Amino acid sequence: MLYRQVLDPLGGSLAWSALCAAIPLLTLFVLLGVFRVRAHLAAAASLALAVVLAVAVWGMPVGQALSGAAEGGFYGLFPILWILVNALWIYRLTEITGWFGVLRRSIRTVSPDQRVQAILIAFCFGALIEALAGFGTPVAITAVMLVAVGIAPVKAATVALVANTAPVAFGSMGVPLTTLAGVTGLPLDDLGAMAGRQTPVIALFIPLVLVLLVDGRRGVRQTWPAALVAGVAFAIGQFLAANYVSVEVTDIIAGIVAVVALLGFLRVWRPAEVRQGVAAPAVAGGSSDAVDAGREAEMRRRETGEGSALMAFAPYLVIVVLFAITQLGPVKEWLGAHGVHQFAWPGLDVRTPGGQPASAMTFKLEHLKAAGTILLVAGLITMALYRVSPGRAVRAYGATLHQLRWTIVTVTCVLALAWVMNLSGQTTTLGTALAHTGEAFALLSPVVGWLGVAVTGSDTSANSLFGVLQVTAARETGLDPVLLASANSTGGVLGKMISPQNLAVAAAAIGMAGSESTIFRRVIGWSLGLTAVFAVFVYLQSTPVLGWMVVG
């Protein structure tokens, strides 16, 4: 049965329909933030509510609503959870062999100060991982590394989530902006250049926020020079690369510039007072077989941190190298030809309000080129480097799956919720209602992107969802389409830290599945506050005040 989305199903009123569409999201965030309900239960309740509204209010056939939920749930399993499971499996391999203790010591030799370590790991190294992988990979990896240097687990998760903002619009080799250009028809170079005149403003302040999270106002007073160097270096690198080099390599260039600048600065500067963390025990649930291994060298590494720094960093270097190889022309072409399959998801026949087939009806399965598959290969290489037997590696993988059991439920429910809202038209109703604000829409344009990422957990998905809406609203109100389309992506990055999908990834990474509500309360204020400030900045870009920044 053909289903055509309706924008105003509730009494023909777009405003009332939008309020109704917001109910599942409000329910999810209230359950997490106010009632502290466990994430998998909150996600399941919100999903059930979204399905009921899709059927009862938007008139979507029951079968299609359930099929859409199934598609979203599968997307949660692959590629999202496929990435998380393999990333944490690699961590577990380093932990059971003792090399994680060596990694902890090696990071501290660069700088013994926790606040500087947070900038290096979460902001600089996280940007490089985001540039190549995305989809929660930087949060999973950097959260574990932050705990390794002694930062409290919940604080480490908070820092990792907040840091994963400025690089996101150019993440995964520019996929969010490439997707935005594809759906809007706007030139990729113009979108990249415009985003490169917006996200650097976010990058300037994020390192200062990170040291504030780690050590409060004292941390800002004592380490602001390092935070400023990292933020300015990243911002300049991102601006220059986006405007004069290439969208695809913007984050790689910005991340490298920030790392080099900060390491160089640390050779001539140290904070007056060094804040060191207490050596952390095993993260992510620990490992039961490490104690039974009976290997003296492993136990010594775990206890003393003695060992080669290169070997300790080897798994992460392997990850970066493998992702870089997959972006080489011939390899990328081969993976695109053999590692991607698209098919129509069964049971769906959905049209947009304009009559076009909904893009979500087609499922794109990237099995060989998926970030999770590359991480699996990196894990196999790590097994060889650390001489982990197959049996021991399989036990570690099983322990990882057991640790993530509730996270798996959470992520599948959240993505199912996103797909139901998207396919039924609930998300489009919300976005369209915001677009009916005239010239003031320039102020709300980043909020639409923020909403899209908060729902889907992906800047790429938010651009697919709202890119055309942004361009249409711009043309109807006389605003610049490139400005608003890019604002959808750059504003969206600030919604990533509160996406339930990413909250679940962060909680699982620190071995505290079920703590999503606690982490949510830590980041929601930063997400809303930064979005509000950024919205004013974009609005000023639509006026003569900052209009000179808009791509001509």
Among the ranges given (130-144, 161-175, 199-213), the one the predictor scored with the smallest mean pLDDT: 130-144
Helices 459-477 and 481-492: crossing angle, nearest 10°?
150
| pLDDT tens-digit readout, 535-547 | 999 999 999 999 9
Spatial CA neighbour of 50 closest among 419, 345, 411: 419
Segment (H or E) for 340: strand 340-344
Q: Which amino acid is at 357?
A: P
pLDDT, tens digit (0-9, with 9 covering 90-100), for 286-341: 444 444 444 677 777 766 667 888 898 898 889 878 888 887 889 888 988 888 88
d(CA 215, CA 222): 10
Give this prediction's pTM: 0.84
DSSP 149: T
pLDDT in tens, 391-413: 999 999 999 899 888 888 988 89
pLDDT digits (tens, 9 = 90+) for 202-235: 999 999 999 999 999 999 999 999 999 999 999 9
State the alpha helices, DSSP H only, in 97-187. Answer: 99-110, 114-118, 126-132, 137-148, 153-163, 171-184
For residue 257, pLDDT beyond 60: yes
Given CA atoms 512, 513, 515, 521 in this order, what sign does their dihedral have?
A: positive
More confident residue, 533 or 324: 533
d(CA 472, CA 180): 14
Angle among Cα 263, 314, 136 to the nearest 5 degrees reads 80
- Which pLDDT score is estimated for 27? 92
What is the distance between the alpha carbons of residues 313 and 336, in angstroms, rounded to a whole number?
30
Q: What is the pLDDT of residue 282?
A: 43
Q: What does R_g of the chain's alpha carbons equal in angstroms?
A: 23
pLDDT in tens, 470-520: 987 888 788 999 999 999 999 999 999 999 889 998 999 898 888 999 999
Q: What is the per-residue pLDDT across 420-430, written as a single tens digit (0 to 9) for each?
A: 998 999 988 98
Percent share of the chain, pLDDT over 90: 52
How high does pLDDT run on average in the chain? Answer: 88
| Calpha distance 452→445 (Å, rounded) | 11
